[in-house]
Structure 1
Protein backbone atom coordinates (compact mmCIF):
# COMPACT_ATOMS: atom_id res chain seq x y z
CA UNK A 1 0.00 0.00 0.00
CA UNK A 2 1.38 3.36 -1.05
CA UNK A 3 1.41 6.32 1.32
CA UNK A 4 0.17 9.75 0.23
CA UNK A 5 3.77 11.00 0.06
CA UNK A 6 4.72 8.13 -2.25
CA UNK A 7 1.66 8.72 -4.45
CA UNK A 8 2.57 12.41 -4.77
CA UNK A 9 6.12 11.43 -5.76
CA UNK A 10 4.85 8.93 -8.36
CA UNK A 11 2.36 11.43 -9.82
CA UNK A 12 5.24 13.88 -10.27
CA UNK A 13 7.35 11.18 -11.96
CA UNK A 14 4.46 10.12 -14.22
CA UNK A 15 3.78 13.66 -15.41
CA UNK A 16 6.35 13.42 -18.22
CA UNK A 17 5.34 9.90 -19.31
CA UNK A 18 3.25 9.08 -22.37
CA UNK A 19 0.54 6.38 -22.19
CA UNK A 20 1.95 2.98 -23.21
CA UNK A 21 -1.27 0.94 -23.08
CA UNK A 22 -4.67 1.78 -24.55
CA UNK A 23 -7.98 0.22 -23.51
CA UNK A 24 -10.54 0.41 -26.30
CA UNK A 25 -14.03 -0.77 -27.13
CA UNK A 26 -13.41 -4.39 -26.10
CA UNK A 27 -12.41 -3.27 -22.59
CA UNK A 28 -9.96 -5.18 -20.42
CA UNK A 29 -9.17 -8.50 -22.08
CA UNK A 30 -6.27 -10.97 -21.85
CA UNK A 31 -4.27 -9.11 -24.49
CA UNK A 32 -4.52 -5.80 -22.61
CA UNK A 33 -3.60 -7.50 -19.32
CA UNK A 34 -0.55 -9.20 -20.87
CA UNK A 35 0.63 -5.97 -22.52
CA UNK A 36 0.21 -4.10 -19.24
CA UNK A 37 2.16 -6.78 -17.33
CA UNK A 38 5.07 -6.55 -19.73
CA UNK A 39 5.09 -2.75 -19.73
CA UNK A 40 4.93 -2.41 -15.95
CA UNK A 41 7.69 -4.98 -15.41
CA UNK A 42 9.94 -3.04 -17.78
CA UNK A 43 9.11 0.46 -16.46
CA UNK A 44 7.55 0.15 -12.97
CA UNK A 45 5.39 3.26 -13.55
CA UNK A 46 3.04 3.44 -16.54
CA UNK A 47 0.12 5.41 -17.89
CA UNK A 48 -2.89 3.66 -19.39
CA UNK A 49 -5.15 5.57 -21.77
CA UNK A 50 -8.86 4.62 -21.68
CA UNK A 51 -10.28 5.49 -25.07
CA UNK A 52 -13.63 7.24 -25.35
CA UNK A 53 -15.27 4.26 -27.05
CA UNK A 54 -14.54 2.01 -24.06
CA UNK A 55 -17.82 0.74 -22.60
CA UNK A 56 -16.45 0.20 -19.06
CA UNK A 57 -16.06 2.91 -16.43
CA UNK A 58 -12.50 4.19 -15.98
CA UNK A 59 -12.49 3.26 -12.30
CA UNK A 60 -13.54 -0.30 -13.14
CA UNK A 61 -10.80 -0.58 -15.77
CA UNK A 62 -8.23 0.67 -13.23
CA UNK A 63 -9.31 -1.79 -10.54
CA UNK A 64 -9.46 -4.73 -12.96
CA UNK A 65 -6.00 -4.02 -14.33
CA UNK A 66 -4.47 -3.41 -10.89
CA UNK A 67 -6.01 -6.60 -9.52
CA UNK A 68 -4.86 -8.76 -12.45
CA UNK A 69 -1.27 -7.52 -12.51
CA UNK A 70 -1.02 -6.92 -8.75
CA UNK A 71 -0.15 -3.23 -9.15
CA UNK A 72 -1.05 -0.11 -7.19
CA UNK A 73 -3.36 2.55 -8.60
CA UNK A 74 -1.57 5.88 -8.21
CA UNK A 75 -4.24 8.04 -9.84
CA UNK A 76 -7.22 8.01 -12.18
CA UNK A 77 -7.65 11.40 -13.80
CA UNK A 78 -9.65 12.05 -16.94
CA UNK A 79 -9.06 9.13 -19.30
CA UNK A 80 -5.62 8.36 -17.86
CA UNK A 81 -4.79 5.71 -15.26
CA UNK A 82 -1.38 5.71 -13.55
CA UNK A 83 -0.20 2.33 -12.24
CA UNK A 84 2.88 1.39 -10.21
CA UNK A 85 4.43 -1.96 -9.44
CA UNK A 86 7.96 -2.51 -8.16
CA UNK A 87 9.96 -4.45 -10.71
CA UNK A 88 11.72 -7.63 -9.61
CA UNK A 89 14.60 -7.43 -12.11
CA UNK A 90 14.60 -3.87 -13.40
CA UNK A 91 14.22 -1.62 -10.32
CA UNK A 92 14.47 2.03 -11.35
CA UNK A 93 12.35 4.08 -8.96
CA UNK A 94 13.35 4.68 -5.34
CA UNK A 95 10.23 5.58 -3.33
CA UNK A 96 10.46 8.07 -0.44
CA UNK A 97 9.67 6.68 3.00
Structure 2
Protein backbone atom coordinates (compact mmCIF):
# COMPACT_ATOMS: atom_id res chain seq x y z
CA UNK A 1 0.00 0.00 0.00
CA UNK A 2 1.41 3.35 -0.99
CA UNK A 3 0.85 6.24 -3.32
CA UNK A 4 -1.96 7.71 -1.24
CA UNK A 5 0.29 9.77 1.04
CA UNK A 6 3.25 12.11 0.97
CA UNK A 7 5.19 14.12 3.50
CA UNK A 8 5.55 17.90 3.58
CA UNK A 9 8.26 18.38 6.16
CA UNK A 10 6.95 16.83 9.41
CA UNK A 11 3.35 16.88 8.15
CA UNK A 12 1.52 14.04 6.41
CA UNK A 13 -0.85 14.57 3.49
CA UNK A 14 -3.35 11.80 2.72
CA UNK A 15 -5.39 11.40 -0.47
CA UNK A 16 -8.60 9.73 0.71
CA UNK A 17 -11.74 8.24 -0.76
CA UNK A 18 -14.52 8.50 1.81
CA UNK A 19 -17.38 6.02 2.08
CA UNK A 20 -20.00 7.76 4.26
CA UNK A 21 -22.93 5.88 5.75
CA UNK A 22 -20.88 2.69 6.21
CA UNK A 23 -21.75 0.14 8.87
CA UNK A 24 -18.27 0.25 10.39
CA UNK A 25 -15.64 2.96 10.75
CA UNK A 26 -12.11 2.27 9.59
CA UNK A 27 -9.50 1.99 6.89
CA UNK A 28 -10.63 -0.18 3.98
CA UNK A 29 -7.60 -0.62 1.72
CA UNK A 30 -7.08 1.44 -1.39
CA UNK A 31 -9.49 2.85 -3.93
CA UNK A 32 -7.31 3.54 -6.97
CA UNK A 33 -4.51 5.81 -5.77
CA UNK A 34 -6.43 6.84 -2.65
CA UNK A 35 -6.81 5.45 0.85
CA UNK A 36 -10.39 4.26 1.35
CA UNK A 37 -11.91 5.20 4.70
CA UNK A 38 -15.33 4.07 5.89
CA UNK A 39 -17.32 6.49 8.06
CA UNK A 40 -20.71 5.73 9.59
CA UNK A 41 -21.94 9.34 9.56
CA UNK A 42 -24.12 10.43 6.63
CA UNK A 43 -22.76 12.96 4.10
CA UNK A 44 -24.99 15.80 5.34
CA UNK A 45 -24.21 19.04 7.22
CA UNK A 46 -20.50 18.21 7.40
CA UNK A 47 -21.15 15.19 9.66
CA UNK A 48 -18.99 12.80 7.59
CA UNK A 49 -16.15 15.35 7.46
CA UNK A 50 -16.36 15.84 11.23
CA UNK A 51 -16.26 12.11 11.88
CA UNK A 52 -13.36 11.71 9.44
CA UNK A 53 -11.35 14.34 11.32
CA UNK A 54 -12.17 12.72 14.69
CA UNK A 55 -11.18 9.28 13.36
CA UNK A 56 -7.88 10.45 11.83
CA UNK A 57 -6.97 12.45 14.95
CA UNK A 58 -7.40 9.27 17.03
CA UNK A 59 -5.55 7.01 14.58
CA UNK A 60 -2.55 9.34 14.24
CA UNK A 61 -2.57 10.42 17.93
CA UNK A 62 -2.98 14.15 17.31
CA UNK A 63 -5.49 16.79 18.38
CA UNK A 64 -8.45 17.51 16.12
CA UNK A 65 -6.98 20.94 15.35
CA UNK A 66 -3.97 19.19 13.78
CA UNK A 67 -6.19 17.51 11.15
CA UNK A 68 -7.58 19.66 8.33
CA UNK A 69 -9.20 19.19 4.95
CA UNK A 70 -7.09 20.74 2.20
CA UNK A 71 -9.64 19.88 -0.51
CA UNK A 72 -12.80 17.90 -1.13
CA UNK A 73 -15.13 19.35 1.51
CA UNK A 74 -18.16 18.46 -0.65
CA UNK A 75 -16.66 15.37 -2.32
CA UNK A 76 -15.79 11.78 -1.48
CA UNK A 77 -12.29 12.51 -2.84
CA UNK A 78 -10.48 14.38 -0.08
CA UNK A 79 -6.98 15.60 0.65
CA UNK A 80 -6.24 15.73 4.37
CA UNK A 81 -3.34 17.34 6.23
CA UNK A 82 -2.18 15.77 9.50
CA UNK A 83 0.28 17.99 11.33
CA UNK A 84 3.20 16.10 12.90
CA UNK A 85 1.49 12.71 13.39
CA UNK A 86 2.55 11.09 16.67
CA UNK A 87 1.84 7.55 15.49
CA UNK A 88 1.39 5.84 12.13
CA UNK A 89 -1.25 3.09 11.93
CA UNK A 90 0.69 -0.12 11.13
CA UNK A 91 -1.99 -1.37 8.73
CA UNK A 92 -1.31 1.55 6.37
CA UNK A 93 2.37 0.86 5.85
CA UNK A 94 3.26 4.57 5.95
CA UNK A 95 6.99 5.24 6.22
CA UNK A 96 8.49 8.37 7.68
CA UNK A 97 10.95 10.10 5.35
CA UNK A 98 14.65 9.44 5.87
Larger RCO, structure (CA 8 Å, separation 6 or more): 1
State the TM bucket, normalised to the shorter chain.
Answer: 0.3 to 0.5
- TM-score, with normalisation over the residues of structure 1? 0.40
Which structure's residues are more often helix, by fraction? 1
